[in-house]
Structure 1
């Protein structure tokens, strides 16, 4: 263990030196970095938590972890599996008999496993605000009766926030307590967390990060609100914590489900099951290669690696876990261009301590080839949050027009038109980044030379028009 401690000390010291420079270069107000290697933990932080108040970041500062929350929700569900209260392959209606979707046959067939692996198939971005009471999740799930089915359960991966809200409701029903209480009782307490908050009312006790958004004329300003709707808590609306507390959660998954005091939080079998691939992903390059039960899997890494990322309004979080090296790395940020900081900083840590290279962020070719016949791709794709209109002009150039819809959780979203160029078979990529990323557009579900049935950008967006 001595060599590991020496490596961590050197890598951590270098990270602490470069972090302020990276934040300035990429216009990120503040960040916290945490590294767990073996039994040793290193944390560092830099920047300003809130540009409106000038409060500086410290190592115990609390940031939102966004959709990393989904791994916590999955852990709560697998605890129920350990106790024999849930069967992963049982229909969800076994536990939530009142669950209604627009496609009743699909609602009756979908399983807990499919919800956990984002393969349940119904539209997943439902951010309805149902209030701040303990019944917010129950009220939200009750509104799903008109939510359309995108594909048959189990047929495809499509990232699904609403599915995790259903899982949160399942946890509430079987535990007979609100989700936030179960989260604290079943995870915060046994893991000994000291700087974790299920929502803003708890977060205010700590030195808490505010998200930031672009302001007119350049730079960053505090976001207009701190948290997303309480109803989306199980999907990642407002869980916040320090880097050290997030690493404590990762350590439990590295230690066969055991807490530092010996408490068995999760069975070794469930820890393993969560990290086993359930479904492969299209060639997106901004996500993993497959998905497990909660965890995102990166099967193209030199060492098996799992993780998850998260985004709320103005905050972005990253977690990578390399079980074979007993290594976990997290970066928590509050604005700017965090993906560049993540790749520069976390990429260096993973390379030095595990020999793992992060997949490079996708970028358009320097000299892109012409698309040619784009007719299989042309059309309108969409859901309640976003419509994407793909067109080809008289010069043969292909365009993607992003049209935010009324259900978007971000009121600052605006329509954008970007040019697409080839990246791979049936995959196009924007010439210009959107929110700092060139998100590949994968066109899937084609038969022979026919049109694509879905545009996949992490979500499978069904074709709405030819």
Structure 2
């Protein structure tokens, strides 16, 4: 007897996904050293989910499909939805200066402060340095106080000139949502998104997460294994960028499903307009090739390399020892979410998300970049020099043997979190990009070199963030 499915007897997509997860998820997570994982799939209008492993190796509590995991920067898609709801309400023009709505907004460059728009922030093209994690307390004013503290942020490039992933920019968007909706960020997310979608396990902070089976992140331990992280969440001030939002995998694909349904919840409630949903799939800016598989960015959503623009959209996220992955194929009506709490999460994402997207939607996602077996020669002249941001000093140099090296020195929060200096050889990856020979964090890092400093050298070293060349 065949499973319910297509007219020719082939099992329908959702039952096929469920059967595959039941057979393979636990084994794949174990092979990748992932303590716990939860997966949900939306296909043919049905949601199936599965879980494997434990929520914490300290307690051994099993992960279930009702367990909540942090989704990290995938939160930015929820922040985007809150902003677009204000557009739908007629309260916001994406192309008006941000100061129209936040008169006190200021970063280090006054002309940029006056020119930056909401569209710049949603597409990561605002141009100011974005990896800022100032803790402004746990009160309802945490986001407001954070935004008020940004006045000295360096401006890396003119608004709209380049893509550079920007956490701080999304905190600013969270503050914009607070002002336009008249609610603290957590309350706005709950009342305007989670409740209309009928979601019961969306947890904007640890206070809600503790009411459910909550996953604990795992970090590398002294014995080389994975040990529970010493803290559960990052600062509340960064909540709109992804510091603490947790949920079930099923909740995350329900959010994606609302977008696939043109902005409508399962019960018919309109959450976003069709125009706003369509806008998220319109390319706003190309992304330098840094081996991530991201080809462009829309409003909040990443667009992945595929046969056509907008064919695969989504986002990734990471917090303290937790990582999340969301891929959506609009033309196929397919969404896949993977939530994890440590181990080789990139490998498990390839195993699970990559397999399911290919099986259900016929799309092959890009794999992790690897150094070529016979890399071409590198003239270090365009690349050599010092680059710096608030977290790292990066030095690129060549030696007498014709090899190119990157020395990375952590500072600020990166140093406080225990990161240590590292050196790696770089080899040719693409026309204007180099890749690390050594693997770190589950992969090889690709550095694109962008722009011109006026002397024929790259103005920026780009690894998802643009890091400006500095004298010396």
TM-score range, shorter chain: over 0.9
> Is the 8 Å Cα contact of residues 5 and 40 (structure 1) preserved in structure 2?
no
1:123-162 residue pairs with structure 2 within 5 A? 123-162=129-168
Take 1:356 and 1:56, find their aligned partners in 2: how far apart are those partners?
32
Q: 1:93/1:25 Cα in 2 relative to 1: closer, same or farther (>3 Å)? A: same
How far residue 274 of structure 1 moved from its aligned partner, in angstroms, is 1.0
Residue 327 of structure 1 corresponds to which residue in structure 2?
A: 334
Query: Residue 306 of structure 1 is aligned with which of 300, 309, 313?
Result: 313
2:263 pairs with 1:260: no
> Is the 8 Å Cα contact of residues 13 and 44 (structure 2) preserved in structure 1?
no
2:76 pairs with 1:70: yes
2:1 pairs with 1:2: no
How far residue 88 of structure 1 moved from its aligned partner, in angstroms, is 0.4
Tell me, what secondary structure is at the counterpart of 2:397? Answer: strand
2:346 pairs with 1:343: no
2:403 pairs with 1:400: no
Tell me, what secondary structure is at the counterpart of 2:376? Answer: coil
How far residue 2 of structure 1 moved from its aligned partner, in angstroms, is 3.2
Query: Residue 461 of structure 2 is aligned with which of 429, 435, 455?
Result: 455
How far residue 38 of structure 1 moved from its aligned partner, in angstroms, is 2.3
Residue 79 of structure 1 corresponds to which residue in structure 2?
A: 85
2:215 pairs with 1:209: yes
Indicate the RMSD between aligned Cα atoms, in angstroms.
1.5
Take 2:41 and 2:11, find their aligned partners in 1: how far apart are those partners?
11
Residue 54 of structure 2 corresponds to which residue in structure 1?
A: 48
2:246 pairs with 1:240: yes
Q: 1:409/1:135 Cα in 2 relative to 1: closer, same or farther (>3 Å)? A: farther
2:222 pairs with 1:219: no
> Is the 8 Å Cα contact of residues 37 and 326 (structure 1) preserved in structure 2?
yes
> Is the 8 Å Cα contact of residues 293 and 305 (structure 2) preserved in structure 1?
no
> Is the 8 Å Cα contact of residues 17 and 48 (structure 2) preserved in structure 1?
no
Residue 315 of structure 1 corresponds to which residue in structure 2?
A: 322
Using structure 2 for the length normalisation, give the TM-score.
Answer: 0.96
Take 1:73 and 1:422, find their aligned partners in 2: how far apart are those partners?
37
How far residue 398 of structure 1 moved from its aligned partner, in angstroms, is 1.1
C-alpha distance after superposition, 1:383-435 (max 9, x if no partner): 11122111112222111122221133971322211111100111000011120
Q: 1:130/1:447 Cα in 2 relative to 1: closer, same or farther (>3 Å)? A: closer
2:387 pairs with 1:384: no
C-alpha distance after superposition, 1:230-255 (max 9, x if no partner): 00000000000001111110010000
Take 2:415 and 2:246, find their aligned partners in 1: how far apart are those partners?
18
Using structure 1 for the length normalisation, give the TM-score.
Answer: 0.97
> Is the 8 Å Cα contact of residues 127 and 164 (structure 2) preserved in structure 1?
yes
Residue 369 of structure 1 corresponds to which residue in structure 2?
A: 376
How many residues align? The count is 465
Query: Residue 179 of structure 1 is aligned with which of 173, 179, 185?
Result: 185
Tell me, what secondary structure is at the counterpart of 1:120? Answer: coil
Tell me, what secondary structure is at the counterpart of 1:414? Answer: coil
2:98 pairs with 1:95: no
Take 2:11 and 2:411, find their aligned partners in 1: how far apart are those partners?
50
Deviates more, 1:126-135 or 1:401-410: 401-410
> Is the 8 Å Cα contact of residues 42 and 335 (structure 2) preserved in structure 1?
yes
Residue 445 of structure 1 corresponds to which residue in structure 2?
A: 451
Write out the 4+ residue segments of structure 1 that deviate beyond 4 Å after TM superposition: none
> Is the 8 Å Cα contact of residues 435 and 447 (structure 2) preserved in structure 1?
yes
Q: 1:447/1:125 Cα in 2 relative to 1: closer, same or farther (>3 Å)? A: closer
Take 1:115 and 1:381, find their aligned partners in 2: how far apart are those partners?
24
Q: 1:358/1:409 Cα in 2 relative to 1: closer, same or farther (>3 Å)? A: farther
Take 1:5 and 1:430, find their aligned partners in 2: how far apart are those partners?
43
How far residue 447 of structure 1 moved from its aligned partner, in angstroms, is 6.8
Take 2:454 and 2:235, find their aligned partners in 1: how far apart are those partners?
43
Take 1:253 and 1:410, find their aligned partners in 2: how far apart are those partners?
39
How far residue 6 of structure 1 moved from its aligned partner, in angstroms, is 2.4
How far residue 202 of structure 1 moved from its aligned partner, in angstroms, is 0.7
Runs of 5+ consecutive residues of structure 2 not aligned to the other structure:
none
Q: 1:87/1:409 Cα in 2 relative to 1: closer, same or farther (>3 Å)? A: farther
Query: Residue 411 of structure 1 is aligned with which of 381, 403, 417?
Result: 417
> Is the 8 Å Cα contact of residues 69 and 340 (structure 2) preserved in structure 1?
yes
> Is the 8 Å Cα contact of residues 305 and 366 (structure 2) preserved in structure 1?
no
Q: 1:363/1:351 Cα in 2 relative to 1: closer, same or farther (>3 Å)? A: same
Take 1:57 and 1:137, find their aligned partners in 2: how far apart are those partners?
32
Runs of 5+ consecutive residues of structure 1 not aligned to the other structure:
none
Residue 354 of structure 1 corresponds to which residue in structure 2?
A: 361
Take 2:467 and 2:119, find their aligned partners in 1: how far apart are those partners?
22
